[in-house]
A and B are shown apart, each in its own frame.
Chain A
Amino acid sequence: MENQRIIISGLLGGTLAAILNSVPVLNFINCFCCLGIMLGGALALIYFDRSLAIREYLNPAIAVTIGITSGIIGAFISLGIEWIMFVNFGHWELELLQKMIENMEDIPEYFEKILIELENELHAGFRWTAILFRNLILMPIFCLFGSLITRTILNKNRIPQG
């Protein structure tokens, strides 16, 4: 029962984190301290807390488990969303930048640097493995941050058992 609740919370949190990590425009929220991914971890813990019959004190182990679970699930969902985006819209960041540059008379130096970085990324053979590897490290870390911070807030007026 406990494991089932953890997995459902992880799925819910992971889905939110993945959407906020991969959907264009929405992922700008991560520019503010990876807030989008942290929200995934926070949602997972809030859902777990709400699914309990009694609002009990949440121990750190449960916050860590839920944070990491939602991060790992989110990493795979995020890869799926990024793949769907790439198949349907191509490398949208690169195309957006190319369109912006087309309308410019003087191209700022840093625009060129970003363009080169994005082009290198596009031609990298290990793109999907690299994205998965990155997601599998980053998302559990930030989901964990989100769930631990949420644990502090939820536990504020609760008394530990034992």
Chain B
Amino acid sequence: MTLYFIKKKWLRILTFLLTLWILGILIAPLMVISGNKILISISDYLYFFYKPTCHQDPQRSFPIAGHHICVCVRCFAIYLAGLALTVYYYSKKTIKIWTSVRYTLLILPALCDFMLEKVAIYQNIKFVRFGTGIILGIALFHLLIIGTSTCAKPQHRN
């Protein structure tokens, strides 16, 4: 198993960007609620900005005072998991790469949920989408944090 040494600078940048990203997602419906024309225009651009990253189906998104946030429940869960993981690893010095089986097991639930919805076994269960999104986010951001670790040295191998 390879042990990676985390460079805090990278994690700080990643945490900052993720926080901005999540704030952008949450702030758009609040701007609509405000009723201010300038803020509404900014929120229009925010919805437009996040559009390529997500289908933005209002029925599959969390609402804030009747207006959906900029991304769907699954995407939001992925980013939340990413933020939680970066904050968690901030207090750690090293990170171990997991086995391929573990990554596959973490990615599989979201993939199954996606496929089962596509073949209409069930439709739009928000907490399932949120849960599988969190698990997928952990796998993706774990790989990402290792990817940003600047100093990687193999300590021992199993």
- A: which residues have CB within 8 A of B? 21, 27-28, 30-34, 37, 57, 59-60, 63, 110, 113-114, 117, 120-121, 130, 134-135, 137-138, 141-142, 145, 147-149, 151-153, 155-156, 159-160
Contacts across chains A and B counted by CB atoms under 8 Å: 72
How many angstroms from the CA of A121 to the CA of B45 in the assembled complex?
Answer: 9
Tell me, rounded to whole Å, the shortest Cβ–Cβ distance linking B158 to chain A.
Answer: 12
Tell me, rounded to whole Å, the shortest Cβ–Cβ distance linking A105 to chain B.
Answer: 19
Whether a CB of chain A sits under 8 angstroms from the CB of B55 is yes
- B: which residues have CB within 8 A of A? 2, 10, 17, 44-45, 47-49, 52-55, 57-59, 74-75, 78, 97, 114, 136, 140, 143-144, 146-150, 152-154
Q: Are B147 and A60 in contact, CB atoms less than 8 angstroms apart?
A: yes
How many angstroms from the CA of A147 to the CA of B45 in the assembled complex?
Answer: 28
Known: A32-B114, A113-B58. A138 touches B144 (CB 8 A): no
How many angstroms from the CA of A149 to the CA of B149 in the assembled complex?
Answer: 11
Partner of A120, one of B44, B78, B114, B136: B44
Partner of B143, one of A30, A120, A149, A159: A149
Tell me, rounded to whole Å, the shortest Cβ–Cβ distance linking A7 to chain B.
Answer: 22
Chain B CB within 10 A, most for which of A114, A151, A152, A160? A152
